[in-house]
Structure 1
Amino acid sequence: MGHREAPPATASADAEAQPTASAHRQSALLWLACAAQFMVVLDVSVVNVALPSIQAALGFDDAGLQWVVGSYALVFAGFLLLGGRLADLYGRRRVFLWGLLLFSSSSLVGGLATGPGLLIAMRAVQGLGAAVLAPATLTILTTTFAEGQVRTRALAIWTAVSSAGGAAGNLIGGVLTDSLSWRWILLINVPIGAVAVLAAGRLLPADHPRTASGRLDAPGAVLATLGVTALVYGVNQAGPHGWSGTTTLSGLAVGVVTLAAFVVTEARYAASPLMPPSLVRLRPIWAGNATMLLAGACFIPMWYFLSLYMQDVLHYGALATGLGFLPHTLVGIAAARLAPAVMRHTGARSLIVFSALLGAAGFLWQSRIGAASGYVDGLLGPAIVMSAGMGLLVTPITTTVTSGVSDTEAGAASGLMNTTRQMGGAFGLAALVTLATAHDTPASSYRSVFVATAAVCTAVAVMACALPTPRRAEPAADAPLSDRS
C-alpha cells in the first residue's frame, strides 16, 4: 500500500516544483535582458569623458572626434525599426545572439584600434548590434511575462537598469579612463557579452521555424533605415551648421521624403510590412509613441546640459562629474521600482500625467541655477525632483505601448518605441543647443534650456490625455515575480 502511494507523492512534488522552475527561468531571462540593455545604454554615454584621451592617443582632429560618439548614435537610431522586426521574423533567440556577437566583437576590435578610421567604424558596428539588441530585450520581456502587474514589474526593473546605464556612463567612463585606459570603456563589454551569450544559449527557448509569410520586407527595411538615419543626421548637423545649413536641410529633406515613401510602401505594397499599419493604428501605439517622443526630448538632453554645467561652470573633472550624477541615478532607479505600486492605485495614464508634471517642476527649479550656484543648492534638489519624474514616467509609457500587442508583432512595437525615444532625444538636443547658443551668458543659456524643457514636459502630460485607460491586471498572474520584487 505504501509502495503504491509513492508515485502520486512524486507527481505532486514535480507539480509543485514546476511553477518554481518557471519562476526562476523568468527571473533569469529578466536579468539577461537587463544586462544586455545596460550595455546598450551605457555605450551611448560612456565614451564622453574619455574623448580627450582618445584624441591624444589616436590623433583625432576635432571634426573627426565627434564621430566617436556620433557614429554609434546615428546607426543605433537608424536601424532600430529593422532590428525590432528581425526578432519577429527570425526568432528572438537567434536575433538576440546576433546582436550580442556583433556588439561584443566590435567592442573588442574598437578597444584595440590603432587609428581613427577603425575606431569610428567599430563604433558604427556597435550601434548596429545595439539596434538589434535593444528591441530584442524588450521583446523578450513582453513575450515572457503575461500582460498585467507581473509584466509591469518586469518592465520597471528593465527601466531602472536602463536609467542606471545612461546615468552611469560618465562615472564608469571616468573610472576606467583614469585608472586603466580609455580602451577599457570598450573592452569591458567583451567578458560581459561572452557571459550573456552563454546565458542566452541556455535560457532562451528555441525559435519556431519561419513560415513562408514571415519574409523580411526589404524595401520597407531600406526606406525606414535610410529615412530615420537621414533625419537624425540632419538634426545632428543643426548644432554645428545651424537649421538653415545645407547639410541640415538636406538631411531633413531626405529623411522626410524617404519616411513618407516608407509609409506609402507599408500601407499599399508590402505583403509582410516591416511596420504593420494595423499596429500603428492602435491607440496605445500611436498615442504612447507620441508621448515617448516628447519624453525623450526632455530627459535625454538633460545629461548633456548638466554635464556641461558641472564641467564648464563648476569646473568638475571627469570623475567628479560622474559622481555628481549619482543622485540622479539612485533616485531614478528608486522611482522606477516604485512605479508599478503607484500604477496599481492610479493607472498608467494618471501616473504619466503626474510624473511629467513632476519632471516639469524639477526642470523649472533647475532653471534657477546661476554662475554662483554650488552643487547642493544648484543641482541636488532639482536632481531629486527631475529624476523622480523620469523614473516614474518611463514604465507606464512602456507598459501602455506594449499592451495588447501579439507576440508576432512584439518586436515591431519594441523597435518603434525605441526609435521614437531616440528621435525625440535627437530633436530635443538639437533644438535646445540652438536655444542655448542664442544667449550671451552661460547662466541665461542654462536658464532658457531648462525652462523650455519644463514646457515640453508639460506637453507630455497633455499628450498623455490621449492614452486609453488600461485594463486592470489580474492579481494571480504576478505571483512568481512578486515573490522576488
Structure 2
Amino acid sequence: MTSKLETSRRPDTAVTTTTATTHAGNHPLISEARGWTGRTWALLLVLCGALFLDALDISMVGVALPSIGADLGMDPTALQWIVSGYVLGYGGLLLLGGRASDLLGRRRVFLAAVLVFGVASVVTAVLSNDLAIIALRFVKGVAAAFTVPAGLSIITTTFAEGPARNRALSIYTVSGASGFSLGLVFGGVLTELGWRATFLLPGPVALAIAAVAWRVVPRAAVPSFRLRDFDLLGAVTVTGALLLTVFTVVEAPGRGWASATTLGSAAVALGLLVAFVLTELRHPAPLVRLGILRSPSLVHANVAGAVMFGCYAAFQFLVTLFLQDTLGWSPLSMALAFLPAGVLVAASSLHVDKLLAVVRTEVLIATGLTAFFAAYVLFFRVGLDLSYAAVLLPTMLLLGVGFAIAFPSINAQATAGVADDEQGLASGLVNTSVQVGGAIMMALVTAVLGSHAGEPGATGAAGALVGLHAGLQVIVGLTVVGVLVSALMLYRGRRPRLALD
C-alpha cells in the first residue's frame, strides 16, 4: 500500500517538491535534507551506531592480540583466528544476511542480529578457552553479516532518494571509518586495563542500540517467503570452503605442505567450492548470480578490495605483534602510532565524492594501491631501534592516503554499470571480498611466521625481525599484483577500439 506526500517549495527552505512513497506501515519516506526530527536523528544514530560498533570491534581487538596471547598462551597461529573467525563469519554470510533482511523483514533481522552481537560480546569477555573465544568471534561476525545489510537497507527504504538519502549515507559511511579509527585508541586504553574489556565494551552498547532501535526503527509489512527462497546450501558451502582454506594455509607449515591433513583439507575445501558453484547455477534464488562476474570492472573491484584490506589486515597483525611483543611497546602506544592513518581516512570520507566526480575509478584505485605499496616498502627499513618519525609515521600517512583514495573508489566501481536490481549483489560481493581477503592474507603471513619459527636463530628479537621481513615480502608481492591488475584495467580502458569490417 502506498501514498504520496507533497512538499511545496517555500522561500525559507531548500526543500523542493518531492513525491515520496510510504512504507507499508504508513511511515512516509524522509525527504527533507534539513529539518529532521529528533526521531529521525535517533533512527540514524542507532543504524550508524551498529556500523560503528562492527568497525570498532575489528580494530579494537586487533590491538589486544598480544595481551590475549600472553595471558592464554596462544601463539600467532591461534591468535590470527580471533580476527579471521570474525571476518570469515562476516564475509562468508554477508550475502545471505542481505537476502534475509529482504525476506524476513529489515527491522526484525536488524534487532535480532544486534542482540546476538551484544550477548556474544558479553559472554566472550568471561571465557578463557581459546577455541570457545574463536567460536564466539565467528558468531559475532555472522551477526555483523546480518546487521550491516539490514541497517543499510533501512536507510535506503526510509530516506527518500536525493539529498536526504545522500546525507544519511554520508553520515553512515563516516561512522564506519570513525569506528575503525577510534577502535585503535579504545583498544589501547582498554587493553591497559585488561584485554577482556575490549571484548566486553561492545556488549552493553549493542544492547542499548537494540533497545533504542526497538522504538525508532519503523515497522513495515514482512513479505511472505518460502524456505527455498533462501540459498542456505550456497551459504554453508562457501563459508565452509573459506574456513577450510584458511585452516589449510595456517596449519600447513607445522603439519607439512604434503601431509595427509593438508592435502585432505585442501581437497575438501575445493570440493565445497565446486559445490557452491553448482548450487548457484541451479538454485532458483542464488546468493550470487555468477553471470555478474562477466563484468571486468566488478572483478577488478573485488580483486582490488581483497588485496587492499587483506594486505593491510596482515600488516597490522604483524606490526602489532612486533611492536608489543618484541619492542615492548604498550598497547596504547601502538594504537596511537597507527592512529594517523585512521584519522586521515575519517577526515577525508566526506570529501572524496568530489574526487570521484572528476577522476576515473581505475586511476584512483591504482593510485591508492600504489600508496599502499610505497608504505609497505618504506617499512622494510624497520629495525630493533625503530624510529617513529622516520619510518612508522610516514608509513601510516601513506596507508591513510591509500585507504582514503582506494576504498571509496573500489565501492563506486563495483556498482558502476550494474543493473538496478543487482546493485545490492554487487555491493555485497565487494564487501565479501574485502573481508575474505583479510582472512586469507592473515593466514598466509601466519604460515610464513610458522615456517620461520623452526629455523636456526629464529628466536628472540632478531628472529622476530626476520619473520616480520618475510611477512612483509608476501604483503608487498600481493600488493604488486593488485597494482598490476589495476594498471591492466587502465590500459584496457584507454586502448582505442578498432572498427572491424
Q: Specify the TM-score bucket, using the shorter chain as the normaliser.
A: 0.7 to 0.9
Q: Select 1:20's aligned residue among 8, 13, 32.
A: 32
Conserved? CA contact 2:80–2:443, under 8 Å: no
**How many residue pairs are counted as aligned between the two chains?**
460
Partner of 2:292: 279
Within-5 A mapping of 1:189-268: 189-201=202-214, 202-204=216-218, 206=220, 208-210=222-224, 215-238=229-252, 240-241=254-255, 243-267=257-281
Residue 273 of structure 1, CA deviation: 1.1
**Cα distance change on mapping 1:110 and 1:387 into 2, 3 Å:** same
**Cα distance change on mapping 1:434 and 1:15 into 2, 3 Å:** closer
1:260 partner letter: V
Task: Report whether the alignment pairs 1:450 with 2:464.
Answer: no
Partner of 2:415: 402
Partner of 1:466: 489
Residue 389 of structure 1, CA deviation: 0.8
Conserved? CA contact 1:46–1:169, under 8 Å: yes
Distance 1:379 1:55 in 2: 24
- The more displaced of 292-301 and 194-203 is 194-203
Partner of 1:368: 381
Residue 186 of structure 1, CA deviation: 2.8
Conserved? CA contact 2:96–2:231, under 8 Å: no
Distance 1:89 1:164 in 2: 31
SS in 2 for 1:210: coil
Listed as ranges, the gaps of 5+ residues in structure 2 are: 1-7, 19-29, 494-501
- The more displaced of 17-26 and 392-401 is 17-26
Distance 1:394 1:433 in 2: 25
Partner of 2:144: 130
Distance 1:148 1:346 in 2: 22
- The more displaced of 364-373 and 113-122 is 113-122
Task: Report whether the alignment pairs 1:36 with 2:50.
Answer: yes
Residue 313 of structure 1, CA deviation: 4.3
Partner of 2:117: 103
**Cα distance change on mapping 1:332 and 1:386 into 2, 3 Å:** same
Conserved? CA contact 2:88–2:439, under 8 Å: no
**Cα distance change on mapping 1:288 and 1:32 into 2, 3 Å:** farther
Residue 118 of structure 1, CA deviation: 5.3
- The more displaced of 395-404 and 204-213 is 204-213
Q: Select 1:82's aligned residue among 93, 96, 119.
A: 96
Distance 2:155 2:249 in 1: 32
Residue 427 of structure 1, CA deviation: 2.4
Residue 380 of structure 1, CA deviation: 0.6
**Cα distance change on mapping 1:403 and 1:363 into 2, 3 Å:** same
SS in 1 for 2:489: coil
Conserved? CA contact 1:135–1:414, under 8 Å: no
SS in 2 for 1:308: helix
Percentage identity across paired residues of the two chains: 32
Per-residue Cα deviation, 1:38-94 (whole angstroms, up to 9, x for no partner): 32233234334545766788x667687775555434433433342233233333332
Residue 226 of structure 1, CA deviation: 2.1
1:463 partner letter: V
**Cα distance change on mapping 1:85 and 1:417 into 2, 3 Å:** farther
Residue 410 of structure 1, CA deviation: 4.8
Conserved? CA contact 2:84–2:439, under 8 Å: no
Distance 2:42 2:262 in 1: 45
Distance 1:305 1:60 in 2: 18
Root-mean-square deviation over aligned CA pairs: 4.0
Partner of 1:4: none
Conserved? CA contact 1:84–1:416, under 8 Å: no
- The more displaced of 30-39 and 272-281 is 30-39
Distance 2:9 2:485 in 1: 57
Partner of 1:478: none
Task: Report whether the alignment pairs 1:330 with 2:343.
Answer: yes
